[in-house]
């Protein structure tokens, strides 16, 4: 096979949807039966050199290229339905049509047989999922726009009473535009809605191509009633949205919006929720320490003096009681609630007005609402700062010094008194600064060559057994994490002496004892003093 490329594009075909395992010799065996092949090129990623599933094949004459396109398009080749087209660079999007509601066995060749009567076809494609099951829709790209218009005009004569849908192709960038969407999703009605009634409601806005009324169950087992309405023209669909959405007509509060595919709908819902969260952060208040007898209506009345309220929600917890041996669940208030105002100004007034307000003899706490992820991040940062401050007060984790005196050598182990105030710190006898590099244990032989995350894990593995031996399994992890805040170089020296680690553990326990002084449950986890 010659490697000189035939520059006559009429002799060239373009093959898409190729399996990654396909190589040039496979394509030669596939196409050479239709004529003399003079050039084959599989497109590859410029950086990774991985095949992109696309290839060019050039023949010595245009008749061979045309015959190969007609015979090979849509066939199953090495596990994928390939798409074969004539090389036609200036494609006209207006010459492309969409064909939907195909039967599962419908193939590209079947589409070509139907539509080739209207003019020269550049490409035909039926869409398949990764399991090679037909998605039941496809595309026909004509050479000229007038060929596509002829096919659209004759669609009723072609298919008659068949359910196959033929419409103008809409580019992806325009599909998300509601003004270009003839399909509507509707709900708001109950089980009494019929397709005939739905047709009468929507046909006043334009010609309806198809519609359906559906019923489904939600997670609570309740029936949901909804439907889909497809207009012939997208302008008619937009008129229906403008006239019916959120309007009460014929005893139905209509919900009418452009129909979106699942991926597009999910993306839109996520974007809408992010936008709502930003609004809630400025209009929603979190209130706690409320009397348990306070109801949502009472709370609404209490807060309404600050401005219009959008919603009120009191947190409820399930309280299980038993009556004649039968479990009876009851929902009771836990003393906290959310109050969302309509405006930011009202929320600010309520924030200032409710601070330190007495309700039935109790001081309520009020703050602006935060999303869970922001709240957790804020609480963790506050806890870290609190423990860091406690450690610095007792000198437990001074990053500049590590005690060097070892017991058993005739010298006492120096310890920093836990209650020494900061001004006296310069007068204390501090241990000498370590100047030499600490010796590494065999388990840490390759410590210096590891990234910081791995170094931290290695240090934790060395510390945890010693910390556990001098505390208990309930707080050993927490204290290990606290010790890991020490400077790495000094911590390496500290690890060499289990006795010094034990001293640090005792100091950490005392810091926790002070920090948890008002928390009996937490104090119960600490070793007996």
pTM above 0.75, yes or no: no
d(CA 65, CA 8): 11
528 located within any domain:
no
Phi first, then psi: give them for residue 27, nearest 5 degrees.
Answer: -70, -35
pLDDT above 70 covers a percentage of the chain that reads 84
Q: Is the pLDDT at 27 greater than 50, yes or no?
A: yes
203 shares a domain with 104: no
Among 132, 75, 133, residue whose Cα is nearest residue 108? 75
What is the full DSSP assignment across 372-441? HHHHHHHHHHHHHHHHHHHHHHHTTT-TT----PPTTSSSPPP---TT--GGGGGGS-PPPPP-SPPPPP
* Chain segment 87-116, per-residue pLDDT in tens: 776 677 888 998 888 888 889 988 888 898
Can you say whether the dihedral through the CA atoms of 241, 244, 245, 250 is positive or negative?
A: negative
d(CA 115, CA 140): 8
Give the pLDDT score at 7.
58
Average pLDDT rounded to a whole number, residues 511-524: 82
Q: Any residues with CB less than 8 A from the CB of 283 and at least 6 apart, and which?
A: 310, 340, 341, 342, 343, 344, 346, 347
Give the pLDDT score at 431.
42
Tell me if 333 sits within 8 A of 294, measured CB to CB.
Answer: yes
504 shares a domain with 429: yes
159 shares a domain with 17: yes
Residue predicted with more confidence, 440 or 281? 281
Largest Cα separation within the chain, whole Å, is 108
160 shares a domain with 37: yes
Half-sphere exposure of 19 (CA within 13 A, CB side): 14
Give the pLDDT score at 284.
93
Give the pLDDT score at 485.
81
Residue predicted with more confidence, 445 or 431? 445
264 located within any domain:
no
Determine how many CB atoms are found less than 10 A away from the CB of residue 61: 15
Whole domain around residue 32: which residue ranges?
9-173
Give the pLDDT score at 413.
43
**The total number of structural domains that make up the chain:** 4
Residue predicted with more confidence, 432 or 504? 504
Give the pLDDT score at 161.
57
Query: Which of 338, 369, 400 is the endpoint of a domain?
Result: 369
Residue predicted with more confidence, 269 or 226? 226
150 shares a domain with 74: yes
d(CA 218, CA 348): 38
Q: What is the DSSP letter of 484?
A: T
Helix axis angle for 344-354 and 262-283, nearest 10°, is 40
CATH of the domain at 73: 3.30.70.330
Q: Is the pLDDT at 470 greater than 70, yes or no?
A: yes
328 shares a domain with 460: no
* Chain segment 309-360, per-residue pLDDT in tens: 999 999 888 877 777 777 777 888 888 999 999 999 999 999 998 887 888 8
4 located within any domain:
no
Give the pLDDT score at 403.
45
111 shares a domain with 138: yes
125 shares a domain with 13: yes
Query: Which of 259, 293, 318 is the endpoint of a domain?
Result: 259
Q: Is the pLDDT at 1 greater than 60, yes or no?
A: no
Q: Is the pLDDT at 187 greater than 70, yes or no?
A: yes
Q: H-helix or E-strand containing 201? A: helix 195-202
The 3-state secondary structure of 219-288 reads: CCCCEEEEEEEEECCHHHHHHHHHHHCCCEECCEECEEEECCCHHHHHHHHHHHHHHHHHHHHHHEEEEE
d(CA 425, CA 418): 11
Q: Is the pLDDT at 55 greater than 90, yes or no?
A: yes
192 shares a domain with 168: no
Average pLDDT rounded to a whole number, residues 261-265: 77
411 located within any domain:
yes
Residue predicted with more confidence, 432 or 90? 90
d(CA 123, CA 91): 10
Q: Is the pLDDT at 446 greater than 90, yes or no?
A: no
Give the pLDDT score at 92.
79
d(CA 174, CA 185): 18
Give the pLDDT score at 392.
67
Can you say whether the dihedral through the CA atoms of 428, 431, 434, 440 is positive or negative?
A: negative
487 shares a domain with 388: yes
Helix (H, G, I), strand (E, B) or coil at 291: coil
Q: Is the pLDDT at 425 greater than 50, yes or no?
A: no
Query: Which of 259, 294, 310 is the endpoint of a domain?
Result: 259
Tell me if 126 sits within 8 A of 107, measured CB to CB.
Answer: yes
**Mean of pLDDT over the chain:** 81
Tell me if 56 sits within 8 A of 39, measured CB to CB.
Answer: yes
Q: Is the pLDDT at 515 greater than 70, yes or no?
A: yes
Helix (H, G, I), strand (E, B) or coil at 327: strand
Tell me if 494 sits within 8 A of 402, measured CB to CB.
Answer: yes
301 shares a domain with 252: no
136 shares a domain with 19: yes
pLDDT band at 221 (very low <50, low <70, confident <90, very high): low
d(CA 225, CA 216): 7
What are the distances in angstroms from CA 315 to CA 105, 291, 337?
A: 55, 12, 5
Q: Is the pLDDT at 482 greater than 50, yes or no?
A: yes
Residue predicted with more confidence, 243 or 157? 243
């Amino acid at each position: 096979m010659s490697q000189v490329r035939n520059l006559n594009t009429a002799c060239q075909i373009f093959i898409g949807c190729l399996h990654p395992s396909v190589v040039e010799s496979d394509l030669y065996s596939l196409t050479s039966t239709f004529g003399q092949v003079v050039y084959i090129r599989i497109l590859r990623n410029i950086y990774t050199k991985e095949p992109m599933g696309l290839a060019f094949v050039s023949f010595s004459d245009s008749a061979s290229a045309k015959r190969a396109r007609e015979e090979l398009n849509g066939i199953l080749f090495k596990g994928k339905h390939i798409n074969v087209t004539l090389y036609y660079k200036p494609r006209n999007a207006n010459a492309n049509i969409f064909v939907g509601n195909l039967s599962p066995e419908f193939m590209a060749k079947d589409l070509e047989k139907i539509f080739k009567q209207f003019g020269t076809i550049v490409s035909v494609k039926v869409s398949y999922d990764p399991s090679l099951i037909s998605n039941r829709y496809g595309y026909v790209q004509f050479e000229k726009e007038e060929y596509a218009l002829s096919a659209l005009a004759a669609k009723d004569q072609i298919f008659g009473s068949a359910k196959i849908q033929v419409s103008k192709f809409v580019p992806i960038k325009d599909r998300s535009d509601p003004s270009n969407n003839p399909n509507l999703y509707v709900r708001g009605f109950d089980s009494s809605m019929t397709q005939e009634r739905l047709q009468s409601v929507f046909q006043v806005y334009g010609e309806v191509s198809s519609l359906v009324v559906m019923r489904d169950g939600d997670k609570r087992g309740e029936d949901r009633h909804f439907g889909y309405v497809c207009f012939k023209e997208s302008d008619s669909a937009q008129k229906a949205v403008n006239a019916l959405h959120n309007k009460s007509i014929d005893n139905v509060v209509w919900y009418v919006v452009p129909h979106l595919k699942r991926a597009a709908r999910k993306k839109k819902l996520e974007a809408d929720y992010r936008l709502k969260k930003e609004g809630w952060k400025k209009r929603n208040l979190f209130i706690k320490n409320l009397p348990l007898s306070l109801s949502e209506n009472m709370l609404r009345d209490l807060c309404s003096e600050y401005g219009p309220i959008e919603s009120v929600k009191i947190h409820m917890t399930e309280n299980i009681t038993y009556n004649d041996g039968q479990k009876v669940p009851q929902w009771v208030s836990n003393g906290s609630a959310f109050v969302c105002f309509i405006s930011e100004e009202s929320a600010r007034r309520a924030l200032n007005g409710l601070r330190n307000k007495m309700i039935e003899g109790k001081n309520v706490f009020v703050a602006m609402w935060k999303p869970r992820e922001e709240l957790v991040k804020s609480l963790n940062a506050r806890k870290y700062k609190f423990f860091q401050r406690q450690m610095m007060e007792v000198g437990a984790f001074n990053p500049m010094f590590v005690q060097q005196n070892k017991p058993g050598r005739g010298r006492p182990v120096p310890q920093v008194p836990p209650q020494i105030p900061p001004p006296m710190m310069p007068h204390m006898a501090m241990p000498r600064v370590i100047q030499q590099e600490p010796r590494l244990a065999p388990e840490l032989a390759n410590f210096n060559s590891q990234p910081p995350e791995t170094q931290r894990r290695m240090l934790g593995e060395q510390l945890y057994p010693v910390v556990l031996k001098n505390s208990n399994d309930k707080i050993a992890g927490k204290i290990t994490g606290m010790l890991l805040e020490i400077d790495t170089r000094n911590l390496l020296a500290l690890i060499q002496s289990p006795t010094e680690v034990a001293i640090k553990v005792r100091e950490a326990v005392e810091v926790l004892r002070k920090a948890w002084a008002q928390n009996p449950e937490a104090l119960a986890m600490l070793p007996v003093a």
